[in-house]
Chain A
Amino acid sequence: MSQFTEVRVPRAETVAIVLTAPNQVKLSGTITQKDPAQDLAGFFKALHNAALADKLSEVRADVSGLTFVNSSAIRLFVDWATWVKNERGERYTLRFITSRNVTWQKTSFMALMSLAKEVLAVEHVT
């Protein structure tokens, strides 16, 4: 049984979160609250741990519908990439599905790739 799909999805005011496949999470909306880690850090960590437990080779994080986020939210993606990068055992590729039309995604995922390109992939959709 997939642990990934059993992860409890948090309710957040401005962002819709859906687990759309045994290895995919989709986020859409905006994340601009003061401390987004309260809602999302534990959720991302649970997805990370579940992906390891399920021995997934890839996790897809579809953020193409996230139209705007603050830097505290970008920090959460940095943390997730860092957990995968620092994993000593079997690890998965963290693939971000991004939109070419959303400015923050172009700049921030470029920077994120430079940080952990051995475990990250960035895919662009329109």
Chain B
Amino acid sequence: METAENPPSAQKVAPYPLVFMRFRPAWAYIDGIREFGRFFCQTTFGTRELADRACVVLQETLENAVKYSSNSSDSELELSIESDGSSIEFSVSSLPDAAHLSSLREEMNGLSTLDPEQAYLAAFVRASNEPESSARLGLARIRYEGGVELSMQEEPGGRIRITATGKL
């Protein structure tokens, strides 16, 4: 029985998103959404480890989406969290500015050539060697600390969707 004390299990509600949010790309929302994600994963799946992983995934994907969103009126972000009972998927859709899109493509391609730990270490080395450049630790951190694989889909109208998929 579903009560406030016994939230619905992931399997009961799949394939519909467990969470779906649409909001303006504002930095001020990120902390709140991250902490909601922590609470949601802890409450629904009952593991602090997953809750911590969700925080990293949400913080870094939303930061990237907010930082590089275009100024147009249809640049709202969409966040969904889904699960089939054995894996979890976080998905963030945004409308980035054109200049960012090519560098994002390049970074996503580079990431896929290394395993998550190697890629995170390589990002630290790059940050150390390039003190004047932006950190660019975020995507590698999502994979390693978040325990997920990342993919990017380009959608009609210029929107992109970053999807992070990992085991429960």
Contact = CB atoms under 8 A, between A and B. Distances in A.
Nearest to B35: A68
Nearest to A81: B128
A34 B31 CA distance: 11
A28 to B, nearest CB: 16
Interface string A104-125: 1001100110111000000000
A72 B135 CA distance: 6
B135 A114 contact: no
A78 B30 contact: no
Contacts of A33: 27
Report the contact-size class of chain B (Cβ under 8 Å from the partner): 20 to 34
Interface in B12-46: 27, 30-31, 34
Interface string B115-155: 00000110011011001000101100100110000000000
Contacts of B125: 115
B97 interface: no
Interface of A: 30, 32-34, 68, 70-72, 74-75, 78-79, 81-82, 85, 103-104, 107-108, 111-112, 114-116
